[in-house]
Chains A and B, each alone.
Chain A
Protein backbone atom coordinates (compact mmCIF):
# COMPACT_ATOMS: atom_id res chain seq x y z
CA UNK A 1 0.00 0.00 0.00
CA UNK A 2 1.18 3.48 -0.85
CA UNK A 3 1.93 5.52 2.25
CA UNK A 4 -0.72 7.89 3.49
CA UNK A 5 -0.01 11.58 2.98
CA UNK A 6 -0.93 14.51 5.15
CA UNK A 7 -2.87 17.03 3.07
CA UNK A 8 -3.73 20.54 4.21
CA UNK A 9 -6.57 22.41 2.55
CA UNK A 10 -9.04 25.13 3.42
CA UNK A 11 -12.51 23.64 3.53
CA UNK A 12 -15.48 25.97 3.94
CA UNK A 13 -13.19 28.64 5.33
CA UNK A 14 -11.43 26.43 7.87
CA UNK A 15 -7.97 25.00 7.47
CA UNK A 16 -8.23 21.21 7.66
CA UNK A 17 -5.56 18.56 7.73
CA UNK A 18 -6.38 15.05 6.63
CA UNK A 19 -4.61 11.76 6.00
CA UNK A 20 -5.10 10.43 2.53
CA UNK A 21 -3.96 7.55 0.35
CA UNK A 22 -3.03 8.56 -3.21
CA UNK A 23 -5.81 6.36 -4.59
CA UNK A 24 -8.57 8.12 -2.66
CA UNK A 25 -10.59 10.69 -4.57
CA UNK A 26 -11.42 14.04 -3.06
CA UNK A 27 -15.05 12.89 -2.95
CA UNK A 28 -14.12 9.88 -0.81
CA UNK A 29 -12.10 12.11 1.52
CA UNK A 30 -14.92 14.64 1.87
CA UNK A 31 -17.54 11.99 2.55
CA UNK A 32 -15.67 9.29 4.47
CA UNK A 33 -12.84 11.12 6.22
CA UNK A 34 -14.24 14.59 6.79
CA UNK A 35 -17.88 13.50 7.14
CA UNK A 36 -19.04 16.11 4.63
CA UNK A 37 -21.65 13.95 2.92
CA UNK A 38 -23.40 16.70 0.94
CA UNK A 39 -21.45 15.97 -2.26
CA UNK A 40 -22.86 12.75 -3.71
CA UNK A 41 -21.40 9.92 -5.73
CA UNK A 42 -23.49 9.53 -8.88
CA UNK A 43 -21.73 8.27 -11.97
CA UNK A 44 -18.08 8.49 -10.84
CA UNK A 45 -17.00 9.41 -14.35
CA UNK A 46 -17.67 13.10 -14.77
CA UNK A 47 -21.07 12.98 -16.41
CA UNK A 48 -23.57 13.69 -13.63
CA UNK A 49 -22.03 16.46 -11.50
CA UNK A 50 -23.59 15.17 -8.24
CA UNK A 51 -20.15 15.41 -6.61
CA UNK A 52 -19.59 19.04 -7.67
CA UNK A 53 -17.69 21.23 -5.22
CA UNK A 54 -15.90 24.53 -5.75
CA UNK A 55 -12.11 24.60 -5.73
CA UNK A 56 -10.39 27.98 -5.89
CA UNK A 57 -13.58 29.49 -7.28
CA UNK A 58 -14.19 26.90 -10.01
CA UNK A 59 -16.82 24.13 -10.00
CA UNK A 60 -15.21 20.71 -10.33
CA UNK A 61 -16.18 17.05 -10.09
CA UNK A 62 -14.67 15.87 -6.81
CA UNK A 63 -14.88 12.24 -7.99
CA UNK A 64 -12.23 12.95 -10.64
CA UNK A 65 -9.71 14.67 -8.38
CA UNK A 66 -7.37 12.84 -6.06
CA UNK A 67 -7.44 13.88 -2.42
CA UNK A 68 -3.67 14.45 -2.60
CA UNK A 69 -4.21 16.97 -5.39
CA UNK A 70 -6.13 19.16 -2.93
CA UNK A 71 -2.98 20.23 -1.09
CA UNK A 72 -3.24 23.99 -0.53
CA UNK A 73 -6.64 24.24 -2.24
CA UNK A 74 -9.57 26.35 -1.13
CA UNK A 75 -12.56 24.01 -1.20
CA UNK A 76 -16.21 25.00 -0.79
CA UNK A 77 -18.92 22.40 -0.28
CA UNK A 78 -22.69 22.64 0.22
CA UNK A 79 -22.15 22.38 4.00
CA UNK A 80 -20.44 25.77 4.07
CA UNK A 81 -22.93 27.62 1.91
CA UNK A 82 -25.70 28.75 4.25
CA UNK A 83 -24.95 31.76 6.40
CA UNK A 84 -25.35 31.09 10.15
CA UNK A 85 -29.01 31.96 10.47
CA UNK A 86 -30.63 31.21 7.14
CA UNK A 87 -30.28 29.85 3.66
CA UNK A 88 -28.20 30.96 0.71
CA UNK A 89 -30.32 32.56 -2.05
CA UNK A 90 -29.72 29.45 -4.19
CA UNK A 91 -30.92 27.11 -1.45
CA UNK A 92 -33.97 29.31 -0.85
CA UNK A 93 -34.77 29.45 -4.57
CA UNK A 94 -34.45 25.67 -5.00
CA UNK A 95 -36.85 25.26 -2.07
CA UNK A 96 -39.39 27.81 -3.32
CA UNK A 97 -39.35 26.50 -6.89
CA UNK A 98 -39.48 22.84 -5.87
CA UNK A 99 -36.35 22.42 -7.96
CA UNK A 100 -35.67 19.00 -6.50
CA UNK A 101 -37.41 15.74 -5.84
CA UNK A 102 -35.08 12.99 -4.66
CA UNK A 103 -32.37 15.53 -3.83
CA UNK A 104 -29.32 13.52 -4.88
CA UNK A 105 -28.29 16.01 -7.56
CA UNK A 106 -29.15 19.11 -5.53
CA UNK A 107 -25.90 19.83 -3.65
CA UNK A 108 -23.97 19.48 -6.91
CA UNK A 109 -26.41 21.72 -8.75
CA UNK A 110 -26.27 24.39 -6.09
CA UNK A 111 -22.47 24.45 -5.94
CA UNK A 112 -22.16 24.52 -9.74
CA UNK A 113 -24.76 27.27 -9.93
CA UNK A 114 -22.94 29.25 -7.25
CA UNK A 115 -19.63 29.14 -9.13
CA UNK A 116 -21.50 30.00 -12.32
CA UNK A 117 -23.41 32.97 -10.83
CA UNK A 118 -20.26 34.28 -9.15
CA UNK A 119 -18.78 34.59 -12.62
CA UNK A 120 -21.93 35.47 -14.55
CA UNK A 121 -24.35 37.22 -12.16
CA UNK A 122 -26.98 38.03 -14.79
CA UNK A 123 -27.19 35.02 -17.13
CA UNK A 124 -29.70 34.28 -19.87
CA UNK A 125 -31.75 31.09 -19.69
CA UNK A 126 -29.60 29.64 -22.46
CA UNK A 127 -26.40 30.43 -20.58
CA UNK A 128 -27.81 28.73 -17.49
CA UNK A 129 -28.78 25.61 -19.45
CA UNK A 130 -25.42 25.46 -21.24
CA UNK A 131 -23.40 25.95 -18.05
CA UNK A 132 -25.42 23.42 -16.08
CA UNK A 133 -24.91 20.74 -18.76
CA UNK A 134 -22.45 18.96 -16.47
CA UNK A 135 -25.17 18.33 -13.88
CA UNK A 136 -27.87 15.76 -14.46
CA UNK A 137 -31.25 15.54 -12.73
CA UNK A 138 -33.53 12.57 -13.39
CA UNK A 139 -36.53 13.93 -11.50
CA UNK A 140 -37.40 17.52 -12.26
CA UNK A 141 -37.12 17.83 -16.02
CA UNK A 142 -34.75 20.79 -15.47
CA UNK A 143 -37.22 23.66 -15.93
CA UNK A 144 -37.68 24.17 -12.20
CA UNK A 145 -33.93 24.11 -11.67
CA UNK A 146 -33.42 26.75 -14.35
CA UNK A 147 -36.17 28.91 -12.79
CA UNK A 148 -34.60 28.51 -9.35
CA UNK A 149 -31.22 29.65 -10.65
CA UNK A 150 -32.87 32.63 -12.37
CA UNK A 151 -34.62 33.56 -9.14
CA UNK A 152 -31.41 33.19 -7.13
CA UNK A 153 -29.62 35.46 -9.60
CA UNK A 154 -32.30 38.11 -9.01
CA UNK A 155 -32.12 37.75 -5.22
CA UNK A 156 -28.34 37.98 -5.30
CA UNK A 157 -28.55 41.14 -7.43
CA UNK A 158 -31.04 42.72 -4.98
CA UNK A 159 -28.85 41.77 -2.03
CA UNK A 160 -25.72 43.24 -3.56
CA UNK A 161 -27.67 46.40 -4.52
CA UNK A 162 -28.90 46.87 -0.95
CA UNK A 163 -25.38 46.13 0.35
CA UNK A 164 -24.04 48.83 -1.95
CA UNK A 165 -26.68 51.28 -0.61
CA UNK A 166 -25.75 50.54 2.97
CA UNK A 167 -22.10 51.24 2.34
CA UNK A 168 -23.01 54.53 0.62
Chain B
Protein backbone atom coordinates (compact mmCIF):
# COMPACT_ATOMS: atom_id res chain seq x y z
CA UNK B 1 0.00 0.00 0.00
CA UNK B 2 1.11 3.55 -0.71
CA UNK B 3 2.62 5.35 2.28
CA UNK B 4 0.41 7.45 4.56
CA UNK B 5 0.35 8.88 8.07
CA UNK B 6 -2.03 7.59 10.74
CA UNK B 7 -3.63 9.32 13.69
CA UNK B 8 -6.17 8.01 16.19
CA UNK B 9 -7.52 11.07 18.01
CA UNK B 10 -9.64 10.62 21.12
CA UNK B 11 -11.76 13.74 20.72
CA UNK B 12 -14.08 14.96 18.01
CA UNK B 13 -12.39 18.38 17.98
CA UNK B 14 -8.98 16.78 17.38
CA UNK B 15 -10.35 14.60 14.57
CA UNK B 16 -11.98 17.54 12.80
CA UNK B 17 -8.79 19.59 13.28
CA UNK B 18 -6.61 16.84 11.81
CA UNK B 19 -8.90 16.36 8.80
CA UNK B 20 -9.27 20.09 8.16
CA UNK B 21 -5.60 21.02 8.57
CA UNK B 22 -4.11 18.15 6.61
CA UNK B 23 -2.02 19.46 3.71
CA UNK B 24 -2.75 16.43 1.57
CA UNK B 25 -5.77 14.18 1.32
CA UNK B 26 -7.02 13.10 4.71
CA UNK B 27 -9.45 10.19 5.00
CA UNK B 28 -11.55 9.23 8.00
CA UNK B 29 -11.35 5.55 9.00
CA UNK B 30 -14.06 3.58 10.78
CA UNK B 31 -14.21 -0.17 10.03
CA UNK B 32 -11.92 0.18 7.02
CA UNK B 33 -13.66 -2.51 4.97
CA UNK B 34 -14.07 -0.09 2.08
CA UNK B 35 -11.32 2.44 2.77
CA UNK B 36 -8.39 0.06 3.19
CA UNK B 37 -9.37 -1.82 0.03
CA UNK B 38 -9.70 1.43 -1.92
CA UNK B 39 -6.38 2.81 -0.69
CA UNK B 40 -4.66 -0.46 -1.51
CA UNK B 41 -6.01 -0.54 -5.04
CA UNK B 42 -5.33 3.16 -5.58
CA UNK B 43 -8.99 3.98 -6.14
CA UNK B 44 -8.64 6.48 -3.27
CA UNK B 45 -5.56 8.43 -2.29
CA UNK B 46 -4.74 9.01 1.37
CA UNK B 47 -1.88 11.06 2.81
CA UNK B 48 -3.34 10.85 6.29
CA UNK B 49 -5.78 8.33 7.73
CA UNK B 50 -7.67 9.50 10.81
CA UNK B 51 -9.01 6.57 12.83
CA UNK B 52 -12.32 7.61 14.40
CA UNK B 53 -12.92 4.56 16.60
CA UNK B 54 -11.40 6.09 19.75
CA UNK B 55 -13.83 9.03 19.74
CA UNK B 56 -16.67 8.40 22.22
CA UNK B 57 -19.29 10.30 20.19
CA UNK B 58 -18.73 8.05 17.17
CA UNK B 59 -19.14 4.89 19.25
CA UNK B 60 -22.38 5.89 21.01
CA UNK B 61 -25.27 3.40 20.90
CA UNK B 62 -28.15 4.65 22.96
CA UNK B 63 -31.81 3.65 22.82
CA UNK B 64 -34.37 5.38 25.04
CA UNK B 65 -37.62 7.38 24.92
CA UNK B 66 -35.95 10.08 22.85
CA UNK B 67 -35.19 7.57 20.07
CA UNK B 68 -32.00 5.88 18.91
CA UNK B 69 -28.52 7.39 18.69
CA UNK B 70 -26.13 5.39 16.55
CA UNK B 71 -22.49 6.52 16.47
CA UNK B 72 -21.08 6.63 12.96
CA UNK B 73 -18.28 4.13 13.70
CA UNK B 74 -20.34 1.50 15.59
CA UNK B 75 -19.76 -1.86 13.88
CA UNK B 76 -22.71 -3.74 12.37
CA UNK B 77 -22.61 -6.63 14.84
CA UNK B 78 -23.34 -4.29 17.74
CA UNK B 79 -26.46 -3.16 15.90
CA UNK B 80 -27.92 -6.55 15.08
CA UNK B 81 -27.03 -7.97 18.48
CA UNK B 82 -28.96 -5.17 20.23
CA UNK B 83 -32.39 -6.59 21.21
CA UNK B 84 -34.02 -3.15 21.42
CA UNK B 85 -32.90 -2.21 17.89
CA UNK B 86 -34.06 -5.58 16.57
CA UNK B 87 -37.50 -4.98 18.08
CA UNK B 88 -38.01 -1.28 17.36
CA UNK B 89 -35.75 -0.42 14.43
CA UNK B 90 -35.80 -3.83 12.71
CA UNK B 91 -34.93 -2.50 9.26
CA UNK B 92 -31.47 -1.34 10.35
CA UNK B 93 -30.96 -4.64 12.14
CA UNK B 94 -31.86 -6.45 8.90
CA UNK B 95 -29.33 -4.37 6.93
CA UNK B 96 -26.49 -4.76 9.43
CA UNK B 97 -26.95 -8.52 9.33
CA UNK B 98 -26.38 -8.83 5.59
CA UNK B 99 -23.59 -6.31 4.90
CA UNK B 100 -20.70 -8.58 3.93
CA UNK B 101 -19.98 -11.70 5.97
CA UNK B 102 -19.32 -12.07 9.68
CA UNK B 103 -15.77 -10.67 9.43
CA UNK B 104 -16.97 -7.54 7.64
CA UNK B 105 -19.91 -7.08 10.03
CA UNK B 106 -17.47 -7.17 12.94
CA UNK B 107 -15.72 -4.07 11.57
CA UNK B 108 -17.90 -2.21 9.09
CA UNK B 109 -20.11 0.64 10.31
CA UNK B 110 -23.44 1.97 9.09
CA UNK B 111 -21.96 5.48 9.19
CA UNK B 112 -19.23 4.35 6.80
CA UNK B 113 -21.73 2.59 4.54
CA UNK B 114 -23.68 5.86 4.30
CA UNK B 115 -20.60 8.04 3.83
CA UNK B 116 -19.38 5.93 0.93
CA UNK B 117 -22.68 6.79 -0.76
CA UNK B 118 -22.85 3.64 -2.86
CA UNK B 119 -26.04 3.39 -4.88
CA UNK B 120 -26.51 -0.18 -3.61
CA UNK B 121 -25.55 0.48 0.05
CA UNK B 122 -27.60 -1.93 2.14
CA UNK B 123 -28.12 0.29 5.16
CA UNK B 124 -29.21 3.50 3.44
CA UNK B 125 -32.76 2.47 2.36
CA UNK B 126 -33.34 1.31 5.96
CA UNK B 127 -32.08 4.65 7.30
CA UNK B 128 -34.41 6.45 4.90
CA UNK B 129 -37.38 4.29 5.95
CA UNK B 130 -36.62 4.96 9.62
CA UNK B 131 -36.28 8.71 8.93
CA UNK B 132 -32.76 9.08 10.35
CA UNK B 133 -31.02 12.42 10.69
CA UNK B 134 -27.29 12.66 10.00
CA UNK B 135 -25.29 14.65 12.55
CA UNK B 136 -22.23 16.13 10.89
CA UNK B 137 -19.24 17.85 12.53
CA UNK B 138 -16.71 19.98 10.71
CA UNK B 139 -14.41 22.96 10.99
CA UNK B 140 -17.35 25.38 11.04
CA UNK B 141 -19.38 23.50 13.65
CA UNK B 142 -22.10 20.90 13.74
CA UNK B 143 -25.06 20.53 11.39
CA UNK B 144 -27.84 18.10 10.64
CA UNK B 145 -29.07 16.68 7.34
CA UNK B 146 -32.04 14.39 6.69
CA UNK B 147 -30.63 11.05 5.57
CA UNK B 148 -32.47 11.10 2.22
CA UNK B 149 -30.65 14.37 1.41
CA UNK B 150 -27.20 13.04 2.33
CA UNK B 151 -26.13 11.18 -0.83
CA UNK B 152 -25.83 13.31 -3.94
CA UNK B 153 -24.65 10.78 -6.52
CA UNK B 154 -22.59 7.60 -6.87
CA UNK B 155 -19.88 7.87 -4.19
CA UNK B 156 -20.82 11.48 -3.52
CA UNK B 157 -22.38 13.12 -0.49
CA UNK B 158 -23.00 16.51 1.12
CA UNK B 159 -19.89 16.39 3.35
CA UNK B 160 -17.62 19.42 2.94
CA UNK B 161 -13.83 19.08 3.29
CA UNK B 162 -12.97 18.31 6.92
CA UNK B 163 -16.49 17.18 7.79
CA UNK B 164 -17.37 13.77 9.21
CA UNK B 165 -20.57 11.98 10.22
CA UNK B 166 -20.71 11.87 14.01
CA UNK B 167 -23.89 9.89 14.50
CA UNK B 168 -27.29 8.99 13.14
CA UNK B 169 -30.32 9.94 15.17
CA UNK B 170 -33.64 8.15 14.79
CA UNK B 171 -36.96 9.47 16.09
CA UNK B 172 -38.78 7.33 18.68
CA UNK B 173 -40.96 4.62 17.15
CA UNK B 174 -44.72 5.15 17.43
CA UNK B 175 -47.00 2.40 18.73
CA UNK B 176 -48.06 -0.18 16.08
CA UNK B 177 -45.03 0.43 13.90
CA UNK B 178 -42.79 -2.02 12.09
CA UNK B 179 -39.99 -1.95 9.56
CA UNK B 180 -37.98 -4.22 7.29
CA UNK B 181 -35.12 -4.15 4.79
CA UNK B 182 -34.62 -6.77 2.12
CA UNK B 183 -32.54 -6.96 -1.04
CA UNK B 184 -32.49 -9.17 -4.08
CA UNK B 185 -29.20 -10.92 -4.82
CA UNK B 186 -28.62 -14.01 -6.97
CA UNK B 187 -26.64 -15.67 -4.15
CA UNK B 188 -27.73 -16.36 -0.59
CA UNK B 189 -25.34 -13.88 1.01
CA UNK B 190 -22.13 -11.85 0.47
CA UNK B 191 -23.33 -10.01 -2.60
CA UNK B 192 -24.22 -6.51 -3.76
CA UNK B 193 -27.91 -5.60 -3.88
CA UNK B 194 -29.51 -5.78 -7.32
CA UNK B 195 -32.48 -4.03 -5.73
CA UNK B 196 -32.82 -3.07 -2.05
CA UNK B 197 -36.00 -1.92 -0.34
CA UNK B 198 -36.49 -0.55 3.17
CA UNK B 199 -39.93 0.22 4.54
CA UNK B 200 -41.37 1.44 7.78
CA UNK B 201 -45.11 1.48 8.49
CA UNK B 202 -47.26 2.88 11.28
CA UNK B 203 -50.69 1.26 11.68
CA UNK B 204 -53.71 2.39 13.68
CA UNK B 205 -54.70 0.59 16.89
CA UNK B 206 -56.81 -1.94 14.96
CA UNK B 207 -53.80 -2.91 12.84
CA UNK B 208 -56.06 -2.74 9.78
CA UNK B 209 -55.14 0.72 8.43
CA UNK B 210 -51.92 2.49 7.53
CA UNK B 211 -51.37 5.75 9.44
CA UNK B 212 -48.13 6.50 7.58
CA UNK B 213 -45.28 4.79 5.77
CA UNK B 214 -41.77 5.51 4.48
CA UNK B 215 -40.14 3.54 1.69
CA UNK B 216 -36.45 3.82 0.77
CA UNK B 217 -35.11 2.30 -2.46
CA UNK B 218 -31.53 1.25 -3.23
CA UNK B 219 -29.60 0.09 -6.31
CA UNK B 220 -32.25 1.41 -8.70
CA UNK B 221 -30.95 4.97 -9.24
CA UNK B 222 -27.70 6.89 -8.94
CA UNK B 223 -28.26 7.06 -5.19
CA UNK B 224 -30.58 5.50 -2.61
CA UNK B 225 -33.72 7.62 -2.33
CA UNK B 226 -37.03 8.17 -0.58
CA UNK B 227 -39.98 6.93 -2.66
CA UNK B 228 -42.28 9.73 -1.62
CA UNK B 229 -45.38 9.00 -3.68
CA UNK B 230 -45.36 5.30 -2.91
CA UNK B 231 -45.02 6.11 0.79
CA UNK B 232 -47.78 8.72 0.82
CA UNK B 233 -50.17 6.47 -1.11
CA UNK B 234 -50.33 4.15 1.90
CA UNK B 235 -51.27 6.80 4.48
CA UNK B 236 -54.87 6.48 5.64
CA UNK B 237 -55.52 3.40 3.48
CA UNK B 238 -56.66 -0.04 4.63
CA UNK B 239 -54.01 -2.75 4.86
CA UNK B 240 -54.81 -5.03 1.92
CA UNK B 241 -53.24 -6.36 -1.26
CA UNK B 242 -54.75 -3.65 -3.44
CA UNK B 243 -53.30 -0.78 -1.37
CA UNK B 244 -49.91 -2.43 -1.16
CA UNK B 245 -49.86 -3.20 -4.90
CA UNK B 246 -50.61 0.45 -5.65
CA UNK B 247 -47.64 1.52 -3.53
CA UNK B 248 -45.45 -1.07 -5.27
CA UNK B 249 -46.54 0.25 -8.68
CA UNK B 250 -45.71 3.81 -7.55
CA UNK B 251 -42.26 2.62 -6.43
CA UNK B 252 -41.71 0.94 -9.83
CA UNK B 253 -42.66 4.18 -11.55
CA UNK B 254 -39.91 6.27 -9.95
CA UNK B 255 -36.85 4.05 -10.39
CA UNK B 256 -34.05 4.81 -12.87
CA UNK B 257 -31.96 1.65 -12.80
CA UNK B 258 -29.00 0.87 -14.99
CA UNK B 259 -28.39 -2.34 -16.88
CA UNK B 260 -25.24 -4.12 -15.75
CA UNK B 261 -24.02 -7.66 -15.11
CA UNK B 262 -26.21 -7.90 -12.00
CA UNK B 263 -29.46 -7.15 -13.75
CA UNK B 264 -31.13 -5.34 -16.59
CA UNK B 265 -33.10 -2.16 -16.24
CA UNK B 266 -36.30 -4.12 -16.91
CA UNK B 267 -35.47 -6.76 -14.32
CA UNK B 268 -34.58 -4.22 -11.65
CA UNK B 269 -37.79 -2.30 -12.29
CA UNK B 270 -39.87 -5.47 -11.97
CA UNK B 271 -38.06 -6.60 -8.82
CA UNK B 272 -38.57 -3.16 -7.23
CA UNK B 273 -42.32 -3.82 -7.31
CA UNK B 274 -42.04 -7.39 -6.03
CA UNK B 275 -39.72 -6.45 -3.18
CA UNK B 276 -41.68 -3.35 -2.21
CA UNK B 277 -44.79 -5.49 -1.75
CA UNK B 278 -42.98 -8.12 0.29
CA UNK B 279 -41.16 -5.59 2.43
CA UNK B 280 -44.33 -3.65 3.25
CA UNK B 281 -46.09 -6.90 4.17
CA UNK B 282 -43.24 -7.91 6.48
CA UNK B 283 -43.23 -4.46 8.08
CA UNK B 284 -47.01 -4.77 8.64
CA UNK B 285 -46.52 -8.20 10.20
CA UNK B 286 -43.97 -6.73 12.59
CA UNK B 287 -46.17 -3.72 13.37
CA UNK B 288 -48.97 -6.08 14.36
CA UNK B 289 -46.47 -7.79 16.69
Contacts and interface: CB of A to CB of B under 8 A. Distances in A.
B6 interface: yes
B25 interface: no
B5 A61 contact: no
B1 interface: yes
28 contacts: A2-B3, A2-B4, A2-B5, A23-B2, A23-B4, A25-B36, A46-B104, A49-B103, A52-B103, A61-B33, A61-B104, A61-B107, A63-B36, A64-B32, A64-B33, A64-B37, A65-B32, A65-B36, A66-B29, A66-B32, A66-B49, A69-B8, A69-B32, A115-B102, A129-B188, A130-B188, A133-B101, A133-B102
Contacts of A44: 37, 40
A12 to B, nearest CB: 19
Nearest to B189: A133
Interface in A1-37: 1-2, 5, 21-25
Given A2-B3, A112-B103, 18 more contacts: A1-B3, A22-B3, A22-B49, A46-B37, A46-B104, A49-B103, A52-B103, A55-B106, A61-B103, A64-B33, A64-B36, A65-B32, A65-B36, A69-B8, A69-B32, A133-B188, A133-B189, A135-B101
Interface string A55-72: 100111101111011010
Nearest to B35: A64
Contact of A134 (B29, B49, B53, B101): B101
**A interface residue count range (under 10 / 10 to 19 / 20 to 34 / 35 or more):** 35 or more
A65 B49 CA distance: 12
Interface string B155-172: 000000000000000000
Contacts of A21: 3
Main SS at interface, chain A: mixed
Interface of A: 1-2, 5, 21-25, 44-47, 49, 52, 55, 58-61, 63-66, 68-69, 71, 112, 115-116, 129-135
